[in-house]
Chain A
Amino acid sequence: MKPKVAFFDFTSCEGCQLNKLNLENDLLDILKHVDIVEFREAMDDKADHYDIAFIEGSISSPSCVERIHDIRRRSSFLVALGACAVSGGVNAMKNLHPIDQVRETVYGDDKYLFATLPAMAVSAVVKVDYEVRGCPMTQQDFLKLLIALVLGKQPQKYNSPVCVECKLKENECLYNRGMVCLGPITRGGCDAICPSFGQFCTGCRGILDNPNLSGMLDLMTNHGISLDEAKKRMLLFNANEVQL
């Protein structure tokens, strides 16, 4: 029997799910391996049990907490999909400000009508078995994880910086073009797609394990940006991951 797969969205732009529907060349192959049983963006059906539940988005309200617990109870494997689900992503920037101020900015006088929590990674609330990083994750990365799970293998984990893939592609370093790039401390696996097209890395796949943050801040300020700006760049996607 094929594994039953479902997709769910929490606080996010839903882009990570949507780009599954863009896998036109591979969709038929994917459907040979799995049954998609719940996917709000693509179908109406619902199911009681999931072999693999893909979760997009961060957990940022009491109702999110309730829902994710329910999904976890009914899933064999739970995979966090994309930066928001893995670490809180850009949503976690709100955690850098007092929560009352954040609510007032967004909802004004009606702020008391909307309960909110700090934006959290899915793994802060329930057990997450695997993760696919990135904003959005690359489709290749998602397919690799899916195929590994279908074959019963441990999916590959990335703990090498973006610079590795960038160097192997023989890209000119963006620091040599006067840009400030987060590649040296950002988890790779994205095939260095941004630097390859001349865009500096913003750290969407998260910071490496045991990063040298003070060294990185020195490096960035030595290349001409202020300490404040350097910290902001680092926090953009990783407010929950780094303490500055």
Chain B
Amino acid sequence: MECFSLLRSDVPAFIDHLGGFGEVVAPHSKGEVSYTFEVVKDSSQVILDYNRTLLPLKKMFLPPVETMLNFSLKDASFTPVEIEISPRLFFGVHSYEMQSILRLDHSMLSGKVESNYFRRRQSSRFVGISFHPDEFHFSESVGITIEEMEGFDLFLNEIEGDFQVYVLSKNGAALLKGFEYIESTNPEVIEGRSFKKKIRYHYNRLPRVFQYAYNSPIWAEVASRCVGCGACTLTCPTCFCFDVNDEVTVTAEDGMRQRSWDSCMLAAFAEVAGGENFREKTSNRTRHRLFRKFKYITDEEGLPWCVGCGRCTAFCPAGISLPDIVNELIGEDEKAQLPRSVRV
């Protein structure tokens, strides 16, 4: 693996150089304390040290609201919306975020291919960056280290303020071509970046814990604090559920079919015709959310469908922590294995 050193002060020039490939999307500041992925207009505005963006990078492949087709009521006809493909480069992506895209690839491209996702996913390049875990990141517990480089073309590993650039693919090498401010160096192991939040068990033990957790009293306890706003699922990088809606314009002659992100934490999600709801209580919905991350898909794919970005916890106004729920389930599971006489 080739490795180059890159000074922090040369990063804006590097981003400008990458602009030669296509549109560059990178983290920017948003609001008072938040971050967001945006198209780079001024490379000096790109943020290199950020904890997490408000919405995951998913929004670039599955937009929050997307028009699928335009229709006309006059002659009952419709035309699908064609997506234009332009090469895009995603800069400053954290390892868990990249892993979430790989998981989405699996969800969207295996079996019947989601064509809009596929078009947007084509000709994209990823330049990763290391991060300093805050109190919410727990990706190591789901098998994703800070330096996990799968999926990236280039990876910037921070070392004493500056960066080591790893070249991970032919595409990555091509991106570096012609950029002068780098020097060949030897990759170093970087110490001292540890995760503060952890799930107590290795992730491959979690499906078994969840197998016996369906009727746990913990779900109702969590539901008593949950107000059902849906922030956890709407900011989750691996959630992909959506709702479809037809909007008719005020002329009542034409309209469009839109798809927008939905959330299984919302009461209306599992409501069906006639007003029946097969996940009526918040506790049912909380349980479903976690089972989707650690049991249902994991049973089939062998990987947790949670990447440990910590968004659901960081953005929960009620302060409900996903790793804490998992740790509580683990504690309950351990207690259940003790002899009956010592269980309290």
A interface list, Cβ under 8 A from B: 26, 29-30, 32-33, 143-144, 147-148, 150-151, 156, 159-161, 163-164, 167-173, 175-177, 181, 183-185, 208-212, 214-216, 218-219, 222-223
Contacts and interface: CB of A to CB of B under 8 A. Distances in A.
B267 to A, nearest CB: 6
Nearest to B317: A175
A173 B231 contact: yes
B200 to A, nearest CB: 26
A168 B252 contact: no
Interface of B: 30-34, 36, 54-55, 59, 64-65, 73, 223-231, 234-235, 245, 247-252, 260-261, 263, 266-268, 282, 315, 317-319
B59 A170 contact: yes
A211 B65 CA distance: 26
A212 B226 contact: yes
Q: Is the interface of A mostly helix, strand, loop or mixed?
A: helix
A172 B318 CA distance: 16
B235 A167 contact: yes
Given A159-B268, A168-B64, A170-B36, A215 B31 contact: no
Contact of B224 (A159, A173, A176, A212): A212
22 contacts: A29-B250, A29-B251, A32-B251, A148-B248, A161-B229, A161-B266, A163-B230, A167-B55, A167-B234, A168-B65, A169-B64, A170-B30, A171-B31, A172-B32, A176-B33, A176-B34, A184-B229, A184-B318, A209-B267, A211-B228, A212-B282, A214-B224
A215 B225 contact: yes
Given A163-B230, A167-B235, A210 B267 contact: yes
A33 B318 contact: no
Contacts of B251: 29, 32
Contacts of B235: 167
Given A143-B250, A147-B249, 7 more contacts: A156-B245, A167-B231, A168-B261, A171-B54, A172-B34, A208-B267, A212-B223
A30 B250 contact: yes
A63 to B, nearest CB: 36
A212 B65 CA distance: 28
A33 B126 CA distance: 51
Contacts of B36: 170
B234 A212 contact: no
A212 B227 contact: yes
B65 to A, nearest CB: 6
Given A215-B225, A218-B225, A161 B248 contact: no
B227 A170 contact: no
Contacts of B315: 173
A222 B230 contact: no
Contacts of B318: 184, 215, 218-219, 222
A164 B250 contact: no
A86 B15 CA distance: 53
A80 B231 CA distance: 30
Nearest to B235: A167
Contact of B317 (A156, A168, A214, A219): A219
Given A170-B55, A172-B32, A176-B32, A163 B229 contact: yes
A176 B231 contact: no
